[in-house]
Structure 1
Amino acid sequence: MRARIEALLPKSAFLRNVGLLTGGTVLAQGILALSLPVLTRLYSPEDFSLLAVYTSLLGLITVVSCLRFNIAIPLPEDDRVAMNLLLLALGAAALVALATAVPVFAMPGTIAALLGQPAIKAHLWMIPVGVILASSYDALQYWASRKRRFALISQTRVTRAAGGTGTQIGIGSFSATPFGLILGQVVYSGVGVVGLLRSLGRHDRAAATGISGATLARTASEYRKFPLFSVPEALFNTAGLELAILIIAAAAAGPEAGFLMLAMRVMGLPLGLVGTSVGQVYLTEAPQKWRDGELAGFT
């Protein structure tokens, strides 16, 4: 059976890797799409508005929480340099999550009032948890891409979707409150981390030898353009999508933000099927093509 499946895959390594990622993305997106009719019957539109605010805040923070060192992980020729970038990304994510936790625990009422959603006050503690989990998954995913473990990434995408929606449906079946929706999003953010960490610990320990504060500082200096230039770009690009939801949630007392989030999620399904897979494989292959002088033709 495995031989038959492999025979159906394209011969090109690039297309095979895109196919692996796209297959996992199709399954994951299918799980998310099929769960929506169930979730919209378990939870109220106002519950989805709180989820929309949570996911928008999470998206704004996590896109820059690794200081964009994560997207540089596939670039170096030396695995030890890439491991330094991974540790820088994870360290930055931990600091950002800690910095997020301070106002969340110190003045949750003020934050909820600014967001125009008083009911989210009880759930704000899940933002720093979501930040560290989602950021860690993103950074570890780039490492797995560098090592061309696309089957593993595909598998984690499916388990994330199943774990997140399963949590939301399971809790909603007994007690349909915003807690179940938001906790499911937290689970979705973190489920894939375990598998990626296990793979890294099993196969990549050698890349971590010789790492010290000096090597981390040197790598941070060498790749400083990523936080300097890519952080503002990524923040403004993401804000163009997420701020609309936050503004509507603050300005309207009803379920409008939840409706907008659901509409954006459904409309974004086709784009996410192939585009993200092609981009991820391209970023993995492009550095070697550039070193070989073949990047223009490959592109």
Structure 2
Amino acid sequence: MSNKPQIFRSSFSRNIGKLMGSGIFVGILGALCLPIISRIYAPEDLGSLQLLISMILVLSSLSTFRLEEALILPTRMYRTEILYILSILALIVSTVFFGFVFYIFSDYIFTFFNLPMYSNYVLVVPFGCFVVGLSQITQMRFVASGSYSQLSINKISQSLTNNIGSIGLGYNVASLTSLIVSYLMSFLLVVMIYFLTNKSRKISAKCYSKKMLFRYLVKYKKYPTINLAGSFLNNLSYHMPVFVLSKSFGHEAVGFYMMANKLLDMPMALVASSISQVYMKYAADAFNKGGGELMLLYKSTLKKLLIISVPYLFVFLGLYFIGVELVLGRNWHGVNVIIILLLCSKVAQLVTSPISTTLNVVDKQEYGLFFICIFLVLRYALLESGQSLNVAIILYSLATSIFYLVINYFVIVQLLKFSVGINL
């Protein structure tokens, strides 16, 4: 019998199975609800929603200073609690700052993004950043404790709240308000679940010590610096089409792009997020045991993702020939073309994104940041140079595909050097 660890027959595989089980439910629910939502709301409404969501998600990548990502690293509970407190403090400070900025400059911000009619949503973005940031912290607490069953429940609850809320409120008043309320309520529910299930947890008094807090802020300084910059730029790059398309082609174009992106991301959510959440924890454990085990984990996970990408590719090629408008309604004619234009980049993302956090584990985040900066400029230039919506998306998809392939190759090189004891 081979001495090679059977990673996908271990608890790693079982925990991925738990999250994928909930992901399948979420995917089925989304597939059932999307044709209803697409017939209730106009492309312009969903495009405006996506623009606000993109603002929230880009800024929320800054809101916790990424300190919640370090929650999986300490081996002692009190150290995890210190990082938890630092994350909450960072979230409070950033929310106050975002609220001040949006209150003072709301007219300019909403006019810049062609949303002057929604200037009364001035506090939606700062509040959304707080809710999403708090949800990120609580989710990482569950990851750190290995509570994957609870993560599955959270995923299902969040999807139910968002989809059912959008349909229920939309039948009464089909507006942007109905959509944004449903979206934010889904994150609030996750936060409520965390505090209800952890209300008996007590934090030691020494964790609140200013000296101790500062000490751990310095110890994990790469998270509020390198990781923070990398996460912000990565999110900005991912949501850049929304911002650029809204300026160049209007909210209807954003709505079409959003719908295509949502359809492509739906099956990815079954796999990518499930593997990513489990992989981070197991990668950290493998790193502490030695480079060989981490390389084995990476290669095994990559192989599974490559296998999964094959049916993913063929499903959407088939959907192109069937015609998406049969599912979504007549208002969405042309979405199937955008799906094909984005498909290459989505396959590259599926294969790379769940295991790209390996750079964090081996403490080489600065290299990821370097590549993000280069491709951020390239993606923006290509989007702006597109003379039509389809050309802009083709150029963006090509640059995105190359970005993920470069990241994957670089991670493998780093792991090879690490496994033989070379410290770069």
Residue 211 in 1 paired to residue 210 in 2? Answer: no
TM-score by length of 2: 0.65
Residue of structure 2 in register with 1:270 after alignment: 267
Pick closer, same or farther for the CA change 1:38–1:90 going to 2, 3 Å. Answer: same
Task: Provide the rounded CA distance (Å) in 2 between the counterparts of 1:254 and 1:23.
Answer: 35
Task: Provide the rounded CA distance (Å) in 2 between the counterparts of 1:151 and 1:273.
Answer: 15
Residue of structure 2 in register with 1:6 after alignment: none
Greater mean deviation of Cα atoms: 135-144 or 284-293:
284-293
Residue 249 in 1 paired to residue 246 in 2? Answer: yes
Residue of structure 2 in register with 1:45 after alignment: 43
Question: Deviations along 1:105-162, whole A, 9 cap, x unmatched?
Answer: 2332222101112222122321111111111111111111111110101101111111
Task: Provide the rounded CA distance (Å) in 2 between the counterparts of 1:218 and 1:232.
Answer: 21
Matched residue type, 2:258: M
Task: Provide the rounded CA distance (Å) in 2 between the counterparts of 1:13 and 1:209.
Answer: 34
Given that 1:29 and 1:161 are in contact with CA atoms closer than 8 Å, whether structure 2 keeps it comes out as no
Residue of structure 1 in register with 2:190 after alignment: 192
Task: Provide the rounded CA distance (Å) in 2 between the counterparts of 1:94 and 1:166.
Answer: 30
Given that 1:123 and 1:179 are in contact with CA atoms closer than 8 Å, whether structure 2 keeps it comes out as no
Task: Provide the rounded CA distance (Å) in 2 between the counterparts of 1:91 and 1:69.
Answer: 10
Question: Deviations along 1:72-124, whole A, 9 cap, x unmatched?
Answer: 11011111111111221122122212111112223322221011122221223
Q: How does 1:100-179 map to 2 (within 5 A)?
A: 100-179=98-177
How far 1:11 sits from its partner (Å)? 5.4
Task: Provide the rounded CA distance (Å) in 2 between the counterparts of 1:217 and 1:254.
Answer: 45
SS in 1 for 2:127: helix
Q: Please, what is the CA RMSD of the aligned residues?
A: 1.7
Residue of structure 1 in register with 2:234 after alignment: 237
Q: What are structure 2's unaligned runs of at least 5 residues?
A: 1-7, 299-424
Given that 2:48 and 2:251 are in contact with CA atoms closer than 8 Å, whether structure 1 keeps it comes out as no
Aligned residues: 288
Q: What are structure 1's unaligned runs of at least 5 residues?
A: 1-9
Matched residue type, 2:216: T
Residue of structure 1 in register with 2:404 after alignment: none
Residue of structure 2 in register with 1:95 after alignment: 93
How far 1:239 sits from its partner (Å)? 1.4
Task: Provide the rounded CA distance (Å) in 2 between the counterparts of 1:40 and 1:296.
Answer: 44
Given that 1:50 and 1:120 are in contact with CA atoms closer than 8 Å, whether structure 2 keeps it comes out as no
Task: Provide the rounded CA distance (Å) in 1 between the counterparts of 2:154 and 2:285.
Answer: 26
Given that 1:65 and 1:96 are in contact with CA atoms closer than 8 Å, whether structure 2 keeps it comes out as yes
Question: Deviations along 1:233-288, whole A, 9 cap, x unmatched?
Answer: 11221111212101211233351111111111111122221122112112112333
Task: Provide the rounded CA distance (Å) in 1 between the counterparts of 2:43 and 2:183.
Answer: 16
How far 1:192 sits from its partner (Å)? 0.6
Residue of structure 1 in register with 2:393 after alignment: none
SS in 1 for 2:198: helix
Task: Provide the rounded CA distance (Å) in 2 between the counterparts of 1:242 and 1:296.
Answer: 31
Q: Which has the higher contact order (CA 8 A, sep 6+)?
A: 1
TM-score by length of 1: 0.90
Task: Provide the rounded CA distance (Å) in 1 between the counterparts of 2:68 and 2:204.
Answer: 16
